Every structure is written in C-alpha cells, then in structure tokens.
Copies of this chain bind each other. A is one copy, B any other.
C-alpha cells in the first residue's frame, strides 16, 4: 500500500486509495475503458443491456460488528448479481459507490473491495467504475449491468396452472441473522450463510432456457417475493409447507429461540435463491424444488390459508 497499514480513509486520501482499490479489480475483455475516466465504456453483445441498482446502508442492511469488510463486499456484490440472475441473465460489469466516514480504516475499504471482487469473479464480471466519498455511516451503492440471451424472465408471466419452484438455500441467512440478533455466533453455517449468501448464479439462465414464465430472486422474503410475482402476474400463489426440508441447523435455532423454523424459510430474504414459475411440473429443471402452485385469483397462501407469521422485509 502507498499509505500506512493503520491509515484512515481520510489519511489515505481519495486519489491514493482509489488507485489501490482499482488495482483489485481485473478488467474483462468487454471493458474498452475501465475505471479512472469520467465514465467507463463497455462492449455490449446482443444489442441490449440489463441493469439493476441496490443500496446497502450500515445499521440497516449490515452491521460493521457482525460482518467483516470482506463479507460485506461479498454480500453487496451477491445481492446485485442475483438481480441479473433473476432475469435469466449474465452479469458483466458493475459500478460501486462507497460513502464512508473519514475515520474508517483504509484497510476496511480494501478488504471490502477484495470481497466484492472475489464474488464478481464467480460469474466473470468486472468492476468498471465507482465513486468514493465521505458520510457519517457506510453506504454502498451498486449498479450491475448484464445481458440476456433468451428473452428476460419477468415477474409478470406466471399463469394459472404453473408450478412454483425454488432454487438455492432458503431461510439459512434469516436463521443466522436471528442468531446474531440474540448475541450468538452459532450455528456457524447459518451465520456464514447470512454473511456470505450463495446465490445459484447459473440457475437463472437454466430456468429461462427451461421456459420459466416468471422469476424473482428472494430478497424481501419468500412469501413477500411470491407476492410480487402474484401481483405482477395477476394470479394467486399457494406455497406448500411440506415441500421444504427444514435443515437441522434451522431446527436447532428454532428450538433454541422458541420459534417455528418455518418462519425463517417463509419470511427470510437474505439468501437470494431464485423463485420461478414453470408451465408444468416436468419443465422444472434439476436442482429446483417444487414448492407450490399458481391458480386464478390473487395473493399468496400457505397450504391454502393465510400465513400469520412474519412475511419479510419492509424497507421503511
């Protein structure tokens, strides 16, 4: 580093630190102009671009005492890459805005960038630009660009008779978050699932190729996100609770906290699995779990009845 190990962001200065950060981000062959100019220039295939943006705010989406900088980098990248996955797309390029206190260690920003870059490398995407500025709390703004080869899979295409299916871990991160909220650090598998979600990055394109009619990534909560599909598509969705295996660590946390572990599965929104509808049960690709049915009507039920547990995240 061009500054002392214990330098703060304020010490390291914007320009010196940016050079160190940029060096952590390898540039893919699609990048014609990378970080350092007024804008990046990217080569685009297929004549279109898929774009999504997300904010992560300290104390709201993450806590500096619960997650390492590298964990937060992984999570910030993962939740954005997941949005492209949910369109049936392939992520190619990202920008990062980082606002942080001047007394935050410069090392924190570098570790954050390392985690972010590592997560992006899982899908071969590049960080092509960003902004670094001062604020009282850490705020991370990520925008991701990608492409789709099939038609994008929207939230609005579910039809009565479709089968609802899920791909990826669900409820583990919510279990981990509940554990952290009570001051515990185990079961470690759940805490780790919260710190570094593992979205099924190939599943979105597979689902698109298999004819998925609607798709979303679970970020607000399984039932809440099923509700987004239901309202966008003008259909009713019934989730079948018996479809889920309640993993042993979730059972353990439920018992320890005196909670029904199904609330993590039905209400949790931090794992970023994919939720999709398929025209029939046989179209559901391997690796996906059939968890419900689509019918005429509106709203989301569990086993035919309204669910009375926590159903997910509200942003205000």
Given A53-B130, A60-B133: A41 touches B87 (CB 8 Å cut-off): yes
CB-CB < 8 A to A215: which residues of B? 38
Q: Are B38 and A48 in contact (CB under 8 A)?
A: no
> Once bound together, how far apart are the Cα atoms of A86 and B41, in whole Å?
12
CB-CB < 8 A to A143: which residues of B? 51, 53, 95, 141, 143
Q: Which of A55, A57, A96, A132 has the most CB of B within 10 A?
A: A55
Given A141-B97, A143-B95: A52 touches B36 (CB 8 Å cut-off): no
Q: Type the 1/0 row for A6-31, where 1 means its CB is closer than 8 Å to any CB of B.
A: 00011011100000000000000000
Given A42-B49, A51-B129, A133-B57: A36 touches B314 (CB 8 Å cut-off): no
Q: Which of A9, A38, A98 has the most CB of B within 10 A?
A: A38
Q: Are B97 and A60 in contact (CB under 8 A)?
A: no
Q: Chain B nearest CB: distance from A138 CB in Å?
A: 10
Q: Per a CB cutoff under 8 Å, which of B36, B37, B51 touches A87? A: B37
Q: Which of A9, A52, A60 has the most CB of B within 10 A?
A: A52
Q: Is A44 an interface residue (CB 8 A)?
A: yes
CB-CB < 8 A to A41: which residues of B? 48-51, 87, 148, 152
CB-CB < 8 A to A42: which residues of B? 48-51
CB-CB < 8 A to A49: which residues of B? 41-42, 44, 49, 145
Q: Are B99 and A139 in contact (CB under 8 A)?
A: yes
Q: Type the 1/0 row for A138-167, where 1 means its CB is closer than 8 Å to any CB of B.
A: 010101111010001011100000000000
Q: Per a CB cutoff under 8 Å, which of B39, B48, B152 touches A89? A: B39
Q: Is A216 an interface residue (CB 8 A)?
A: yes
Q: Which of A88-103 contact B (CB under 8 A)?
A: 89, 93, 95-99, 102
Q: Which of A14, A57, A61 has the most CB of B within 10 A?
A: A57
Q: Are B154 and A53 in contact (CB under 8 A)?
A: no
Q: Type the 1/0 row for A61-90, where 1 means its CB is closer than 8 Å to any CB of B.
A: 100000000000000000000011011010
Q: Is A47 an interface residue (CB 8 A)?
A: yes
Q: Chain B nearest CB: distance from A166 CB in Å?
A: 15
Given A102-B316, A217-B38: A135 touches B60 (CB 8 Å cut-off): yes
Q: Chain B nearest CB: distance from A18 CB in Å?
A: 9
Q: Type the 1/0 row for A292-306, where 1 means its CB is closer than 8 Å to any CB of B.
A: 000000000000000
CB-CB < 8 A to A182: which residues of B? none
Could you list 30 examples of A-B contacts with CB < 8 Å? A13-B316, A33-B152, A33-B154, A37-B87, A37-B152, A37-B154, A38-B84, A38-B155, A38-B215, A39-B83, A39-B86, A41-B49, A41-B50, A42-B51, A44-B48, A51-B128, A52-B95, A53-B95, A53-B131, A55-B99, A55-B131, A55-B141, A59-B136, A97-B141, A99-B139, A102-B316, A133-B315, A139-B139, A139-B141, A145-B145
